[in-house]
Amino acid sequence: MKHTLYYMSVILLIICGTIAYAVHDEDKGPEKFGNYEFKEQDIKAATDACEAGGKPGPEYVPTVRDKQPNLALLKDAKPDASSQLNGWCPQRHCIEYLNDGFYNNCRSWIIGTLPGWAQIDIGAVANVNTIYFGSDHSQGFLDRMAKDFDILVATVKADADSEANTWKKVYTHKGDNISKTTEFTFDDVEARWVRVHIRSNAGTRIDEIEIYGGGDPMAVDPTNKMTIVWGQIKANIK
């Protein structure tokens, strides 16, 4: 009887732990995909620096998802934000953790002041139609969720003012809290900067921003497009 109770207790602990959060243990993605080269993902260094507080530590973010390169993880991609929560970085919640290649709380960003934003500079204009983000991929923490935000894109300037006419709004979300890593899709659009503009929910956390736009999204070349169009116009004038 004692042994039965013991084993039942162990099973309950395992079940409860599974309900609280799930460690996904994703494999490391490829370092290259065609002509696309990604940031180094040193999970040992990330784990050593992590103060997880008993929750899951860093987990790999995919460099390639559904045969599409993650533009946020390109070598030249750079993160930025309007603010960050004071008193934690570099242990956690840093701007640079928006696209460092690792999920979960200790590799997340938390906004400091509302309204505000987090963004990724891809490094060049690309086709974009999907982003992924969440509050805590492992669900070890079920707080600080985004619920009222826009997704904006720009090609020529990342103005600090999200209302500037250089930004194009491609998605608006009002309603459900975004806790798990969630997919947001919109029509194909050219973008160099992709921004999540947050209007409410103080202390919103994003553990990673992923950006996708097809199998070869950086085949977009606006300069050449303009040259071709102007050449055609001149030919027609003649």
User: Tens digit of pLDDT for each residue in 196-207?
Assistant: 999 998 999 999
Structure tokens at 22: 């799930």
Q: Is 236 a residue whose pLDDT tops 90?
A: no
pTM: 0.84
pLDDT tens per residue across span 80-100: 999 999 999 988 999 999 999
What's the rounded Cα separation, in Å, for the pair 219 and 214?
10
**Dihedral in degrees, nearest 10, Cα atoms 63, 127, 84, 59:** -10
DSSP state of 93: B
Tell me: pLDDT of 8 over 70.
Answer: no
Which has the closest alpha carbon to 184: 129, 111, 138, 127? 129
Q: What is the mean pLDDT of residues 57-74?
A: 97
DSSP 207: S
Share of the chain above pLDDT 90, in %: 76
Q: What is the DSSP letter of 61?
A: P
